[in-house]
Structure 1
Amino acid sequence: MSLPKKLLTEFDDVLKDRGYNSRSKGIRDALKDYIVRYQWMRDMEGDRVGIVAVIYDHHYTGVMEDLTNIQHQFREYINANMHIHMTENKCLEVIVVKGDAQQIRDLTEKIMRLKGVEHVKLTTTSGGEKL
């Protein structure tokens, strides 16, 4: 496995802060967390309401256009969005979603696969009238 030096340095810093003695243990824990998050997303059912938080590098060629195109494809499930300039290069897009869990999952996974997107987090709850 190869990783960019900056990512590995940041990971090592997190491991140190958390008291890990082994990079291998940290990688195992990170992979387990990734799998649990995926399984949670996969198992969502029914109507959901929530947000998709996306951090991306707006200087990456085409990322803003790709993100907009995906949002247009899923416009029936998007209630609102907010764009925040975090730094010179980084932006945060907060997308408010409501509707079928499968469609929200598809929207989220398409965004995750975009080049230039650095982080995506989906948070949802039941979309029913009784919350």
Structure 2
Amino acid sequence: MMRISMSLPKKLLNDFDEVLKDRGYNSRSKGIRDALKDYIVRYQWMKDMEGDRVGILAVIYDHHYTGVMEDLTDIQHQYRDFINANMHLHMTEKNCLEVIVVKGDAQKIRSLSEKIMRLKGVEHVKLTTTSGGEQ
């Protein structure tokens, strides 16, 4: 095993510890290892997507973060050929949820997702897809 050190916001660590407690973990290290494995599996799944896909991209972001709404809109305009619809929901005073319905080439959808993930002010992104081919 390798030992690492990391810095986390207090709320994130408290939330993580609460999840570990609810799931019955006795070790924070084991929980972090499992979370990292899950992250890697999700990335590999996205990386291996190919062909036509249809899906939903859920984006939670802090609308107070300077420029995030404009950046999100700009990216959606760049990928307008792969976006069929979107919905905006005000979750809290701070956070908004953007639900983006996507259809088309898996590589383009993955690129769209990753560009949004990298935006400052975006707190969470989840892509769910299925085959977009004719049955």
Q: Tell me the TM-score normalized by structure 1.
A: 0.98
In the other structure, the counterpart of 1:14 is 19
Residue 3 of structure 2 is matched in structure 1 by: none
- SS of 2:49 mapped into structure 1: coil
How far apart are the structure 2 equivalents of 1:57 and 1:15? 26
The RMSD of aligned alpha carbons is 0.5
Q: Read off the aligned partner of 1:92 and give its amino acid letter.
A: L
Following superposition, the deviation at residue 50 of structure 1 comes to: 0.4
Q: Work out the CA distance in 1 between the residues paired with 2:98 and 2:69.
A: 10
Matched positions, count: 130
Shift of 1:14: 0.5
Q: Which residue of 1 aligns with 2:133?
A: 128
- Structure 2: tracts of 5 or more residues without a match: 1-5
SS in 1 for 2:72: helix
1:129 deviates by 1.3
Q: Deviations over 1:46-100 (max 9, x none)?
A: 0000010000110111110000000000000000000000111110000000000
What is the match of residue 28 of structure 2? 23
In the alignment, the residues of structure 2 paired with residue 15 and residue 69 of structure 1 have an alpha-carbon distance, to the nearest angstrom, of: 38
Does residue 76 of structure 2 align to residue 71 of structure 1? yes
Question: Partners in 1 of 2:111 and 2:95 — Cα distance?
Answer: 24
The unaligned stretches of length 5 or more in structure 1 are: none
Give the letter aligned to residue 56 of structure 1.
Answer: Y
Identity of aligned residues (%): 88
Pair 1:97-2:102 in alignment: yes
TM-score (norm 2): 0.95
Aligned to 1:2: 7
Counterpart CA distance in 1 for 2:24 and 2:62 is: 30
Q: Which runs of 4+ in 1 moved over 4 A?
A: none
